[in-house]
Chains A and B, each alone.
Chain A
Amino acid sequence: MTALQHTTEVVDPVPGADAPHLPGQPDLVQLLTPEGERVEHPDYSLDITDEELRGLYRDLALVRRWDVEATALQRQGELGIWASLLGQEAAQVGAGRALAADDMAFPTYREHGVAWTRGVDPLHVMSLFRGVDMGGWDPVATRFNLYTVVIGAQCLHATGYAMGLQRDGAESATLAFLGDGATSQGEVNEALIWASSYAAPVVFFCQNNQYAISVPIERQSRAPLFHRAAGFGFPGVRVDGNDVLAVLAVTRAALAAAREGQGPTLIEAFTYRMGAHTSSDDPSRYRLASELEEWKLRDPIARLKAYLSRSGKADAAFFTGVDAEGDELAARLRKGTIEMPDPAGTEIFDHVYAEQTPHLAAQRAEFVAYHESFEGGHQ
């Protein structure tokens, strides 16, 4: 028995487990089957123009191209580490594109696809993984918070931000990202309680990619994750995380409900981490290659491409154009990453406090004097 079958038994049927013909998945919202068939869902419809559809495809393809380039740069020693989003592009792009300009997103460390939709320059993400800074983008201007590495901590931040929106009478919401593993953290559960208790305009977007590093989902939850919401007193919904249209529709609806004062929603985007946890990880130690093969059949980009081409919504020239754009992006990221200047040593001291302390100012001065003492002479 494969780990996947085990997961399936304990948790719920895996969408597309029997691909190409999906069996009935009453709990799983899907608008685009793995084969690229457009289907309707009674609760979630999506009004979308052909141009927007092509835009989503472009997002998915470029985000993947970025990810592939980053993986290569890491292997070549240009990044310290890389957390790949391979396989999760639709979940991230769908969620990111559901945000309105004034909504605020609270990512983990893997939400490069959401960063993309917020207009964050990918080089500002690369600088974090290169070890140059802790993320170079402006979280206020982009409405995309800095990456949070401590599992789950951002869920409380998103909830508090939502409480602020509530008090300001703002018609906006927050979108908190978390993984399946994160759902075990006490702080995440506290966030769910807070959000529920105050009907805060926050949507919890959990990418269930089936693993927390090596630990499979059944160690974190014996029930489908989206069922948890019921216990906290708000709606939960499971969406096919590899279906960008369904993710977009479900997240839009949840954000709209939050903005209208209906409180939080927990979205479980059912997906799969196609790569290693990070470039430091070796998944062959804990999962079977056959599992990966099964999930390849549900690739998020292939299904949109199939739909666009079959329905005539995009032609060959469009896809060639996106490929070319991808190559340009990759070249820009490669050059930009390799040429990124190292930070100045004094950066260590410069942003610790809003109001610098005399003690730290003195330490900084000592640091400068110490390094100057090496100039000329010291090898």
Chain B
Amino acid sequence: MTETLTIGKALNLGLRKALEDDAKVMLMGEDIGKLGGVFRITDGLQKDFGEDRVVDTPLAEAGILGTAVGLTMRGYRPVCEIQFDGFVFPAYNQIVTQVAKIHARSRGKLPMPIVIRIPFGGGIGAVEHHSESPEAYFAHTAGLKVVAVSNPVDAYWGIQQAIAHPDPIVFLEPKRRYWEKAKVDRDATPEPLFASRVVRGGDDLTLLAYGPMVKTALQAAQAAADEGRSLEVVDLRTISPLDLEPVYESVRRTGRCVVVHEAPLTLGLGAEIAARVTETCFHSLEAPVLRVGGYDTPYPPSKLEEEYLPDLDRVLDAVDRSMGF
């Protein structure tokens, strides 16, 4: 069955499928019941699966994650919704000191199949704490896996794969792209979750992105093509573990690499990727790996977010600089 879905609707259908397929799956979060979540990702699910499986929690993120740990020990598979990226921090202690480490501490006796869904990134004109890109904190934490989807197909399959996966996964949803549409074939065989994908072929430079920046990267590649430059765009899809083999293969051909993310530059994913690409492809590189990211500042008030966020022009500027080496 192929239909056109938004990322939001694809997530909703993916969650529905996961609830149908496994009676142990349960959703937990603030306002996810009657309201269907502030982005309506869980719309209608409490009505159909009941209050025990789609749980409106008290207003306490540490509580959501902490109780998810206990539920997991009873065989449940909690899918926790954090309302906005900036509100994950009350739960940060549970995520980093408990969720991430219990598998290792128990030497595998206590798996932690918890999914932490977080709408992330900016671009929606919101007030403070609603536009953060906290992925590096989680990617830096051993024991967690981090997925960042960019399109409805990956949203639909990815959320189901994440829920079925035995390890805890921070599942990042590009909130400003929730309304982007694409055709989704719900009978197809999904691509593996932890694999990057070349989404546009090219010869001159390898452009890497994930989550909301994939669209920006593709637009930049189109604009570059109009100027006679051929960019290869890779959607990383998963940022921990990173699947860089396709990237190395690409960079060996193009000799140039630019990484784009909304998160601040310093110690962001771009830094790790630049290090690995440099270590692995040093002799193929014609230019240093360049990064385009948010500035090393707090996320600004919304009137300034367009200047803060990487956009087509800033990506093309980096492409120019890379080509100029």
Residue of B31, B90, B128, B313 near A214 (CB, 8 A) is: B31
Given contacts A81-B127, A349-B295, contact A150 B58 (CB under 8 A): no
Rounded to whole Å, the gap between the CB of B123 and the closest CB of chain A is 12
A150–B304 CB distance below 8 A: no
One of A62-70, A256-264, A339-347 at the interface: A339-347
Task: Enumerate chain A residues within 8 angstroms of B126, measured Cβ to Cβ.
Answer: 80-81
The answer to whether A151 has its CB under 8 Å from any CB of chain B is yes
Does B272 have its Cβ within 8 Å of any Cβ on chain A?
Answer: no
Q: Is B16 part of the binding interface, using a Cβ–Cβ cutoff of 8 Å?
A: no
Give the shortest distance, in Å, between A76 (CB) and chain B (any CB): 15
CB-CB under 8 A from A214, the residues of chain B are: 31, 33-35, 56
A199–B214 CA distance with the chains assembled, in angstroms? 54
Q: By the criterion CB–CB under 8 Å, are B300 and A348 in contact?
A: yes
Interface centre among B296, B298, B304 (most CB of A within 10 A): B304
Q: Is B182 an interface residue (CB 8 A)?
A: no
Contact of B58 among A130, A220, A343, A347 (CB under 8 A): A220
Contact mask for chain A residues 356-379; partner B; CB cutoff 8 A; 1 contact, 0 none: 000110010001001100100010
Contact of A349 among B34, B35, B58, B297 (CB under 8 A): B297
Type the 1/0 row for A89-132, where 1 means its CB is closer than 8 Å to any CB of B.
00000000000000000000100000000000000000011111
Contact with A along B297-322 (1 / 0, CB 8 A): 11011111101100001100100000
Question: Which residue from B35, B125, B297 sits with its C-beta under 8 Å from A80?
Answer: B125
B300 touches A149 (CB 8 A): no
Select the stretch in B59-67, B112-120, B134-142, B150-158 that faces chain A.
Answer: B59-67
Q: Are B59 and A181 in contact (CB under 8 A)?
A: yes
B31, B62, B86, B313 pick with most chain A CB within 10 angstroms? B31
A contact residues, total (Cβ < 8 Å): 45
B129 within 8 A of A: yes
Query: How many angstroms from the CA of A186 to the CA of B58 in the assembled complex?
Result: 11
Q: Is B30 an interface residue (CB 8 A)?
A: yes
In chain A, positions 238-281 with a C-beta closer than 8 Å to chain B are 280-281
**Beyond A184-B59, A285-B34, 8 additional pairs, beta carbon < 8 A:** A128-B127, A150-B129, A186-B63, A214-B34, A220-B58, A343-B304, A348-B308, A370-B314
What are 25 A-B contacts with C-beta separation under 8 Å? A80-B302, A128-B127, A129-B127, A131-B125, A131-B302, A132-B303, A150-B89, A151-B87, A184-B60, A186-B62, A186-B63, A212-B59, A213-B35, A213-B38, A214-B33, A215-B30, A219-B56, A342-B303, A345-B307, A348-B304, A349-B295, A360-B296, A367-B295, A371-B307, A378-B313
Contacts from A to B (Cβ < 8 Å): 80-81, 109, 128-134, 149-151, 181-182, 184-187, 212-215, 219-220, 280-282, 285-286, 342-343, 345, 347-349, 352, 359-360, 363, 367, 370-371, 374, 378
Q: List the interface of chain B (C-beta within 8 A of A).
A: 30-31, 33-36, 38, 56-60, 62-63, 86-87, 89-90, 125-129, 266, 295-298, 300-305, 307-308, 313-314, 317
